[in-house]
Structure 1
Amino acid sequence: MAISFDHTIVAARDKRESAQFLTELFGLPDPVPAGRFMAVRLEHGATLDYADVPDNEEIRPQHYAFLVSDDDFDAIYAKIQSRGLPHWADPAGERPGEINHRDGGRGVYFPDPAGHHMEILTRPYGSGG
């Protein structure tokens, strides 16, 4: 049986702002309305479907990691720096302003507008290096 990931719902205070943040940072096509969601389509076809959460409801931060090429890492990291976004080399945030070099690649963590923990990395964990 072939099983592939199709979509996930991402909670946001402002679905358009959060979806646009990701598409601009990653150089992806603009998000598109999909019912009550703003959908961000990734290269392999899966979507992040951003949904507004009422102000009286808590958004529990989730972690979203994206495997990117070295060139994409350079472009995204340059935008992170030029926008003055806080970022860290580690998930605990103990190495602010740095990137990591796990498994011979590069990685960095940063928040999105809703407070989710975003990560870009150039090598999958455990791939050696």
Structure 2
Amino acid sequence: MEISLNHTIVYCHDMIASARFYEKIFGFEFLKVWENFAVVKVNKTLSLDFRDKGTFTAQHYAFKVSEQQFDKILARIQQNNIAFGPGPENTSANEINHHYEGRGVYFKDPNQHLLEIITTDYILD
């Protein structure tokens, strides 16, 4: 069996608001609140489990998406007036990148986690 990531905990200030943000922007499914987590299904094998915490270090989460998904997610980012940019140090230029003959964009969630969507895998030599 191939190993796959099943879930990860995403610390946040408001787990319900965070789960709803990912549902609205990415189209993920907010399943339910389970114990101390707001569970969001990313795909058939991965969930993001949002958990409230007073202080935490912002993290980076990158999602590979299809060209059509990229267009839809970028449109939702723009409709919700979320700043975005072509790189992790430039999240407010309202531009995308075209690395590795694909498209990519960076933006932040309400908890300042750095989010990235890409259509092509990075080529690591």
Q: TM-score range, shorter-chain basis?
A: over 0.9
Structure 2 residue matching 1:40: 3-state secondary structure: strand
Identify which range, 99-108 or 30-39, moves more after superposition.
30-39
| % same residue | 40
Aligned partners of 2:83 and 2:91 also within 8 Å: no
Moved over 3 A (4+): none
Q: CA deviation at 1:3?
A: 1.5
Unaligned runs of 5+ in 1: none
Unaligned runs of 5+ in 2: none
Residues in 2 aligned to 1:94 and 1:124: alpha-carbon distance in whole angstroms: 20
Q: What is the aligned residue count?
A: 124
The alpha-carbon distance between structure 1 residues 31 and 115, as it changes in their structure 2 partners (threshold 3 A), is farther
Normalised by the length of structure 2, the TM-score is: 0.92
How far has the Cα of 1:2 moved from its partner? 3.0
- In the TM superposition, residue 33 of structure 1 has moved relative to its aligned partner by 1.3
Q: Helix, strand or coil: the match of 2:69? A: helix
**In 1: Cα distance, 2:112 partner to 2:71 partner:** 23
Alignment partners' CA distance in 2, 1:43 and 1:20 = 16
Q: Residue in 1 aligned with 2:42?
A: 42
**Matches of 1:95 and 1:85, distance apart in 2:** 9
